[in-house]
Structure formats: structure tokens, C-alpha cells
Amino acid sequence: MRMQLFLLEDKYPDILFLPYDLSLTIQSFKQHNKIDNEASALLETLLKNKAQDPNWVVCWRLEPISNSLELLLWMEPTQNY
């Protein structure tokens, strides 16, 4: 957060930025833009890509008890020789 504060102070020298307020603003931005189930969203996107182009390579493994993703590997068609 220090770097963001320095950059803001440098770009806007007439404005007072309080570190606490900046921290709260950054945290609220992170929370609003957080994707639930990021891994499953990524896997879903990769499988859609593979359905559209079979040259995609998508391999995954689920942990049997918790059903959580424990391995995910993919290669785009341009990487697959």
C-alpha cells in the first residue's frame, strides 16, 4: 500500500491521502471484484474453450473426499505441437 500512497501523492500533490482511508478503499475494491469459486470458474472457461476447439488440452483432478480441485493443467492450441 505504501507504493500506491506514494504514487497518488506524486500524481495529486494538492490532495491529502490518509493511509487508513486508502487501505479501506483498496480493501472495499478487492471485495467488490472478488469472484466466488475462482478455480471452478477457470475450469468452466477452459472446458468451454475445449468444447469449441478440441486442440485445447485440459486436465484436472478432484480430491475425492472434499471434491476440491487439487490439480489443473491446460495448454492452448498454440502451445500444443
User: Which tops the pLDDT comparison, 45 or 25?
Assistant: 45
Report the helix count and the strand count for the chain, using DSSP H and E.
Answer: 3, 2
40-60 pLDDT, tens per residue? 889 999 999 999 999 999 999
Taking CA atoms, 39 is separated from 14, 18, 57, in Å, by: 43, 35, 17
% the chain with pLDDT above 70: 90
* Predicted TM-score (pTM) above 0.75: no
